[in-house]
Amino acid sequence: MTPHMLTRSLDRSAAIFLAVVAGCGILIPLSNLLLPAGSFLQVPTYLVALWGKYVCYAILALSIDLIWGYCGILSLGHGAFFALGGYAMGMYLMRQIGTRGVYGNPILPDFMVFLNWEKLPWYWYGFDMFWFAALMVLVVPGLLAFCFGWLAFRSRVTGVYLSIITQAMTYALLLAFFRNDFGFGGNNGLTDFKDILGFNVQAEGTRAALFALSCLALIIGFLICRAIVSSKLGKVLIAVRDAESRTRFLGYRVESYKLFVFTVSACMAGVAGALYVPQVGIINPSEFAPGNSIEAVIWVAVGGRGTLVGAALGAVVVNYAKTFFTSGVLAPYWLFMLGALFILVTLLLPKGIVGTFNAWWDQSKEKRTSATSVSAAAEDGVTEPKMAE
């Protein structure tokens, strides 16, 4: 049976994926910390931070794949949830600076002293406690996604309309966070962090631990996504993706399913942002730029939407390419390449790297096992999920 084979092949790629991520998450920090600097096998600290950034992007891509690949919701504003999670973490890190800031104010972050603010705005309360900040990393993006999704899905805003208003959402947030009186550092954002949970954010050990934690978060996120898409709920999501009206006519409350998965996805994006900030050392409003969100979508498209593994792979591959090309003489050509990537992937590789590979693998395997079974092929056309909007 093909469905069975499909699950098995997914299981195989999932297993490989988990093994690779877990291996990196353990070996890279160990090699960075234990081997002497300059040794052949030692991973330098800057690379640990760089790869940590990629892993965070991979979590973001995973969250986009969950809604786009499995539910057909193309969000062009997922960068907003990522950034909100990042800001929640950034606020905690700002409060940890304490008297070590330029102005030495024990309560107010530097930019507030600079703006002559008398006391902490109410929405900064509680961010000196890690548990509260960690909670907010999930709650703030989740709440925004819930409200936004509740409004949008209930009135059946779908397809490109949804994409456009998610873009408007992140654009509105971009404008808001650029304002100084909004209380989040305006243009400069939050930076100059010192400690996280008492450990120096610049220290090698902290960076290695953050990297390992990011890998752990990626694994957990992946498992959650897998659990969702392989459950009965996941089947309904795929039905919504492929034929929304039909699913509704069959009696499913489409908007509730969409709302659930959209909120979960936003929380994941928030976690990605929260892990991203201490590793990069800054969060500013440019993270809200609509371009960032669209770029994240293309990672998923490159890796293969609706494959989960592909999303993470796409994020790493595209960002590695970006680092590689923007740091050399080829820098002026990077935007050409990124643009071409958008066009070529949508035109020539609609299933992405992993999707194309899976299709090829299944096909060749089918040929190998039973060249005679015509029925399997016929059934194949029915059961294989269609890549529709």
Q: Which of 294, 296, 312, 313 binds another protein (CB under 8 A)?
A: 294
The separation between CA 155 and the C-alpha centre of its own chain, rounded to angstroms, equals 27
Q: Are 14 and 226 in contact (CB under 8 A)?
A: yes
User: Is 369 a binder of another protein (CB under 8 A)?
Assistant: no
Q: One symbol per residue from 298 to 337: x for binding another protein (CB under 8 A), - otherwise; what is it?
A: x--x------------------------------xx-xx-
User: Which residues fall within 8 angstroms of residue 52, CB to CB, at 6 or more apart?
Assistant: 207, 210, 211, 214, 275, 279
Q: Interacting stretch for another protein, rule CB under 8 A, among 87-95, 100-108, 319-327, 344-352?
A: 344-352
Q: Rounded to the nearest whole angstrom, what is the least distance from the CB of residue 84 to another protein in the complex?
A: 15
Compose the 5-24 pattern: x for residues touching another protein by CB under 8 A, - for all others. Answer: --------------------
Stretch that binds another protein, among 30-38, 52-60, 145-153, 216-224 (CB under 8 A): 145-153
Q: Nearest distance from residue 352's CB to another protein, in Å? A: 12
CA-to-CA distance for 7 and 379, rounded, in angstroms? 16
Distance of alpha carbon 28 from alpha carbon 119, whole angstroms: 43
User: d(Cα 338, Cα 151) in Å, to the nearest integer?
Assistant: 34
Distance CA 14, CA 216 (A): 15
Strand runs (DSSP E) across 241-318, as ranges?
282-283
> Which residues within the stretch 58-77 sit at the binding site for another protein (CB under 8 A)?
74
Q: Smallest distance from the beta carbon of 167 to another protein, in angstroms?
A: 6
170: left (phi over 0), alpha (psi -120 to 50) or beta: alpha
Q: Which stretch binds another protein (CB under 8 A): 117-125, 262-270, 310-318, 339-347?
A: 339-347
Q: Answer yes or no: are the C-beta atoms of 237 and 229 closer than 8 Å.
A: yes
Find the angle CA(86)-CA(87)-CA(88) to the nearest 5 degrees: 90
Across the chain, the runs of DSSP E, i.e. the strands, are 190-191, 195-196, 199-200, 282-283
* Subset of 156-185 contacting another protein (CB under 8 A): 156-161, 163-165, 167-169, 171-172, 175-176, 178-179
231 to 260: interface string for another protein, x by CB under 8 A: -----------xxxxx--------------
Q: Summarize as ranges the residues that interact with another protein (CB under 8 A).
A: 74, 148, 151-152, 154-161, 163-165, 167-169, 171-172, 175-176, 178-179, 242-246, 290, 294, 297-298, 301, 332-333, 335-336, 338-343, 345-347, 350, 388-389
